[in-house]
Amino acid sequence: MLIIGVDPGLKASGIVVMDNLSHIRYAVTLYTEAGQLCSRLNHIYSEFTRILEEWRPDVAVLESTIYYKNVKTALSLGAVRGVFLVAMAQKSIPVSEISPTRVKLSLTGQGRARKKQVAFMVRRMLKVDRELTEHEYDAVGVCLAYLKETGNAVRLGR
């Protein structure tokens, strides 16, 4: 089973493909340059669709939205999430959403853990032998939390 995990963002989105044995098969951060929102969303959609076609994941896990004080940021993130959701729906990939708090709680035992703590736990749990971006670590965390919650975490070293 292949799982695609997504940490959505307008400037940078982390995407990983993992198997249900928690092996990272592919990791990338999609970056967009400043400019019109429609161009940036189109870039994300095109690249993500290409990744979906190449890897053909069985399930997708998307980090859900958290509360934002800045309305403009929240609206932009909503648009980005919409792009990912539409792309996955077009490929008939079942999607689960998981909150950042649940990811942090699942991996570190603290719902308010920092990104560095999540990255540390991912490295420790999976013995990652290469450096990932913070967005890729977050996407891996989303996958691991999903596997843990669904009981599919076959070999997480625990």
Integer CA distances (angstroms), 118 to 12, 28, 114, 115, 132, in order:
18, 17, 7, 5, 12
Q: What is the pLDDT of residues 77-89, one digit of tens each?
A: 999 999 999 999 9
pLDDT of residue 143: 93
68 confidence band (pLDDT: 50, 70, 90): low
Q: Which two tokens stand for residue 125?
A: 């749990």
What percent of the chain stands above pLDDT 70? Answer: 94
**pTM (2 d.p.):** 0.88
pLDDT of residue 108: 79
pLDDT of residue 67 exceeding 70, the answer is no
> Which residues are designated catalytic?
7, 63, 135, 138
List, in sequence order, every residue forming a beta bridge with 142; answer none if it has no partner.
none
Q: CA geometry: angle at 12 spanning 80 and 20, to 5°?
A: 85
pLDDT of residue 51 exceeding 70, the answer is yes
Which residue ranges form the domains of the chain, and what is each CATH number? 2-150 (3.30.420.10)
Mean of pLDDT values over 55-74: 86
Distance CA 65, CA 100 (A): 8
